[in-house]
């Protein structure tokens, strides 16, 4: 296309100078003035596209970019502008086509590779997105956005180790980039110590004080840390600044359920305000993120709108399931059954003598997620002789270090375990306990999934106390479905999968309790109806006496990072008992898998 006349070139330079100086209104007038004399001038059309995009008018931005590209097919900036608008509109297939074209035309451009990664991510083509972001980093080692996007995606996919490495590299090249700091703080929240994550999120807030997400993530971690007043201050400020954003209302409602003060509005009032903010937006379930959809569902449930709650829960879980599926993570019922069959077959042939006494430091609390493991640990950790270490991944990591990269399965590993290796594993486990537990006589490890490792644990610690939390199967199943866990579970997004997993868990756990009669079952319903009477057998097994602090467990401000982080801050309440009945009409797929187990539990046949 021939160059425009000199006077038009001068006007274009002036218009773009105004844009770069932030004088958008003047730049817009200058661009329109050029188009009066040259209606198809591609650079002026591009300028108007940029200005409309900057103002959030995506429809007009796309129109001007398209007119610019039609006027000059060599103007790849306009074509890229169309692609960026398509990303913003959620039209990811169109965006991917555009950035694939641009990648072929400009294979060395890191921005194009990064935008292609965003398009692939929107299409749930996560492997391709990871590759595109990695290419963007290789092409532009100083390009901060690519580090942030890759780190965020890897965190979503549950690959926290790789995410941490990417984000730390990004931080070294761009120490104050708000997005890198935000995602780095989020992935650090999965590490054993919480303070580094809090510190990084504070840096993210300092780097971009007006951004909302770093502040509400910081508030969430401060709640985990027990710093409620600081969290409350942040949430109050967020609501003041953005009264139409529902997130802070929901977070504050959660906080008030755990720690309200005289004069506070009830939590339900903040949930209603959050729902009103959502409803004002006009967004339907398909229009909001999976995480926000989940929070909306929780609030609808809290105010008794169960049909709306179920609809939003289902939408959120379908979205989470698709993310996991795109990452190659799906629940495999046959594999679970085969593994449990192998454990039962092996340990049936190798019976054990229950320990005569408890003299090992670890106390293992095992069971299904949402069965009361956090409540039980919080009560025990309020005793001065017991340190609550939370969900330690130590046992699974010890196993992974020995069988990772080999062709040995878990059952084969346990079957080949001699006493010397078992003692070595026990020493490594004790060495890995938190330093803060050094003065405690006992340390709780409440990783629920250790129910799989009961036989191994008994080999490592013949005299350790093992506790099994129990709760009504339908309450457990429903609570699993409505909770947003991390990416370590794969069965939690579908009622049929949850029902199957629970039935298999119940089968294995009943075997363990028969195989080792020293395992103490602790029913959630008994804990909330008579805490002291329920916990006393545990305390006596440890050779301890009841401590009054245990009755006021909710005042223990120890760090809690599980899904029950707020529930254990509250005095005993019974509202979660029989919660499933509110949603009974939708639970058929789960009940079909559980069969008679709910009735058996109600009759005391655990």
Phi, psi of 472 (to 5 degrees): -50, 130
- Characterize 346-369 residue by residue with b for buried, 16 or more Cβ atoms within 10 angstroms of its Cβ, and e for exposed: ebeeeeeeebeebebbbbbbbbbb
| pLDDT digit string, tens, across residues 108-159 | 999 999 999 999 999 989 999 999 999 999 999 999 999 999 999 998 888 8
Q: Which value, to the nearest 10 degrees, does the dihedral of the CA atoms of residues 501, 506, 512, 514 take?
A: -160
What pLDDT does residue 226 have?
A: 77
- Cβ neighbours, 10 Å, residue 209: 10
Quote the pLDDT of residue 449. Answer: 95
Torsion (CA) 138, 141, 146, 147 in degrees, nearest 10: 110
Please give the average per-residue pLDDT across 492-507, as a whole number.
96
- Whose tokens are 């844009």? That residue is 19
Cα dist. 478→367, 484, 575 in Å?
15, 12, 14
Token digits for 464?
Answer: 């350790």
**Residue 43: CB partners within 8 Å, gap ≥ 6?**
4, 12, 68, 75
In the chain the first and final C-alpha atoms are separated, in Å, by 80
Convert the pLDDT of each residue in 420-459 to its tens digit. Answer: 999 999 999 999 999 889 999 999 999 999 999 999 999 9
The number of C-alpha atoms within 13 Å of 412 and in the hemisphere containing its C-beta is 7
**H or E element: which one contains 387?**
strand 386-388
Instruction: Give the mean pLDDT of the chain.
Output: 90
Cα separation, 547 vs 441, in Å, equals 15
Residue scoring higher pLDDT (106 or 289): 106
Please determine, for residue 582, whether its predicted confidence score (pLDDT) is greater than 90: yes
If one counts every other C-beta atom within 10 angstroms of the C-beta of residue 545, the result is: 10
Contact assessment for residue 562 and residue 391, using Cβ atoms and an 8 Å cutoff: yes
Higher-confidence residue of 160 and 605: namely: 160
- Confidence class of residue 257 from pLDDT cuts 50, 70 and 90? confident
At 508-564, the pLDDT tens digits run: 999 999 999 999 999 999 998 898 999 999 999 999 999 989 888 776 554 544 444
Task: Between 599 and 193, name the one with better pLDDT.
Answer: 599
Between 39 and 566, residue with greater pLDDT: 39
DSSP secondary structure, 307-324, as one string: HHHHHHHHHHHHHHHHHH
pLDDT of residue 176 exceeding 90, the answer is yes
Asked if 477 contacts 580 with a C-beta cutoff of 8 angstroms, the reply is yes
Tell whether the model's pLDDT for residue 569 goes beyond 70: no
Convert the pLDDT of each residue in 68-119 to its tens digit: 999 999 989 999 999 999 999 999 999 999 999 999 999 999 999 999 999 9
Residue 491, SS3?
coil
pLDDT at residue 104, rounded to an integer? 96
Paired tokens of 384: 């001065």
Contact 149, 114 (CB under 8 A): yes
The pLDDT score that the predictor gives to residue 561 is: 44
pLDDT digits (tens, 9 = 90+) for 316-373: 898 888 877 877 789 999 999 999 999 999 999 999 888 878 889 999 999 999 999 9
CA 546 to chain centre: 36
Q: Which long-range contacts (CB under 8 A, 24 or more apart) does 13-19 make?
A: 15/44, 15/47, 16/47, 19/47, 19/50, 19/51
Question: What whole-number distance in Å separates Cα of residue 502 and Cα of residue 484?
Answer: 17
Strand partners, 522: 469
pLDDT at 575 over 60: no
Question: Which 3-state string (H, E, C) describes 4-56?
Answer: CCHHHHHHHHHHHHHHHCCCHHHHHHHHHHHHHHCCCCHHHHHHHHHHHHHCC
Q: Is the pLDDT of residue 473 over 90?
A: yes
Hey, CA dihedral for 215, 220, 226, 232, is it positive or negative?
A: positive
Give, in degrees to the nearest 5, the angle at Cα 253 between 247 and 255.
105
Single pTM value for the model: 0.76
Three-class SS of residue 238? helix
Mean pLDDT of 291-306: 90
Q: What is the pLDDT of residue 425?
A: 96
């Amino acid at each position: 296309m021939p160059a425009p006349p000199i006077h038009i070139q001068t006007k274009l330079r002036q218009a773009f100078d105004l844009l770069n100086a932030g004088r958008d209104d003047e730049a817009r007038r200058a661009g329109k003035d050029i188009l009066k004399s040259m209606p198809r001038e591609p650079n002026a059309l591009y300028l108007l596209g940029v200005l409309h995009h900057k103002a959030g008018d995506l429809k007009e931005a796309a129109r001007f970019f398209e007119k610019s590209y039609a006027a000059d097919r060599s103007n790849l900036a306009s074509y890229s502008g169309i692609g960026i608008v398509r990303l913003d509109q959620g039209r990811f297939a169109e965006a991917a086509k555009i950035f694939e074209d641009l990648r072929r035309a400009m294979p060395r451009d890191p921005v194009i590779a990064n935008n292609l990664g965003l398009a692939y991510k929107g299409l749930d083509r996560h492997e391709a997105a990871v590759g595109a972001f990695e290419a963007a980093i290789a092409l532009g080692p100083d390009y901060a956005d690519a580090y942030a996007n890759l780190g965020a995606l890897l965190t979503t996919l549950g690959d926290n180790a790789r995410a941490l490495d990417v984000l730390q590299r990004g931080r070294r090249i761009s120490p104050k980039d708000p997005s890198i700091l935000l995602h780095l703080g989020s992935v650090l929240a999965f590490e054993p110590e919480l303070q580094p994550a809090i510190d990084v999120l504070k840096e993210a807030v300092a780097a971009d004080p007006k951004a909302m997400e770093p502040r509400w993530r910081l508030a969430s971690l401060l709640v985990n840390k027990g710093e409620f007043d600081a969290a409350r201050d942040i949430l109050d400020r967020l609501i003041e600044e953005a009264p139409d954003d529902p997130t802070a209302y929901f977070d504050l409602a959660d906080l008030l359920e755990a720690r309200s003060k005289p004069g506070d509005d009830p939590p339900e009032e903040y949930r209603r305000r959050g729902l009103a903010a959502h409803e004002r937006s006009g967004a339907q379930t398909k229009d909001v993120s999976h995480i926000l959809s989940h929070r909306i569902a929780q609030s609808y449930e809290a105010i008794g709108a169960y049909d709306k709650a179920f609809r939003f829960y289902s939408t959120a879980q379908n979205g989470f399931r698709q993310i996991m599926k795109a990452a190659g993570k799906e629940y495999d019922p046959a594999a679970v059954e085969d593994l449990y069959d192998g454990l039962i077959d092996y340990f049936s042939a190798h019976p054990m003598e229950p320990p005569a006494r408890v003299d090992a430091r670890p106390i293992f609390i095992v069971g299904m997620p949402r069965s009361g493991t956090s409540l039980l640990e919080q009560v025990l950790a309020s005793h001065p002789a017991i340190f609550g270490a939370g969900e330690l991944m130590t046992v699974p990591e010890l196993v992974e270090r020995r069988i990772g990269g080999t062709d040995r399965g878990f059952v084969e590993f346990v079957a080949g375990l001699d006493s010397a290796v078992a003692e070595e594993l026990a020493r490594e486990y004790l060495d890995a306990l938190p330093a803060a537990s050094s003065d405690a006589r006992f340390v709780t490890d409440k990783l629920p999934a250790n129910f799989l490792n009961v036989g191994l644990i008994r080999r490592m610690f013949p005299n350790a106390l093992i506790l099994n939390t129990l709760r009504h199967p339908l309450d457990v199943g429903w609570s699993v479905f409505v909770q947003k866990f991390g990416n370590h579970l794969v069965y939690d997004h579908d009622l049929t999968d949850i029902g199957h997993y629970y039935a298999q868990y119940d089968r294995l756990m009943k075997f363990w309790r028969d195989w080792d009669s020293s395992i103490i079952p602790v029913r959630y319903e008994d804990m909330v109806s008579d805490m002291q009477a329920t916990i006393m057998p545990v305390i006596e097994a440890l050779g301890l006496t009841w401590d009054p602090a245990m009755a006021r467990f909710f005042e223990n401000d120890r760090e809690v990072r599980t899904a029950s982080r707020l529930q254990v801050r509250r005095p005993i309440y019974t509202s979660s008992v029989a919660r499933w009945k509110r949603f009974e009409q939708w639970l058929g797929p789960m009940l079909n898998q559980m069969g008679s187990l709910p009735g058996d539990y109600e009759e005391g046949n655990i």
